[in-house]
Amino acid sequence: MPDALVPVVVEAIDALGTRAGRPARVVAYGACASSGGPYWDSYAVADGIGQFVPVAAFVPGCPPPPGSLEDALAGLTAGAGTAPSAPAVEEDR
């Protein structure tokens, strides 16, 4: 999920989950998907995808560093077994 969570994106996520018919592993890719990014205080942006679906991994950054998505997917494939944690929220939020 690499985008700010505006209502239309949230609706699309819900529709995909319904169509999949099986549990999907969601990876929150980047600051926008993880915590709302620079738009976190907008009335039109949700504060991270974790509010709507269970997240298997968070890949922080804006943009995330090279190789970070591959590392997250490798950890999921290897069954790292650690619960994901949302990125730390900045003090001035």
pTM value is 0.65
Q: What is the pLDDT of residue 68?
A: 92
Q: What share of the chain is helix, strand, coil (3-state, %, to 5)?
A: 40, 10, 55
Beta strand spans in 18-59 (E):
26-29, 55-59
Domain positions in the chain are 7-77
C-alpha 17/C-alpha 15 separation (Å) is 5
Is 93's pLDDT higher than 60?
A: no
Whether the Cβ atoms of residue 59 and residue 69 lie closer than 8 Å to each other: yes
pLDDT tens-digit readout, 5-56: 667 777 777 777 666 666 678 888 999 888 888 888 888 787 888 888 888 9
Neighbours of 48 (CB within 10 A): 23
Q: What CATH number belongs to 7-77?
A: 3.40.50.12280
Q: What is the pLDDT of residue 90?
A: 47
Strand 55-59 and strand 26-29: the pairing is: parallel
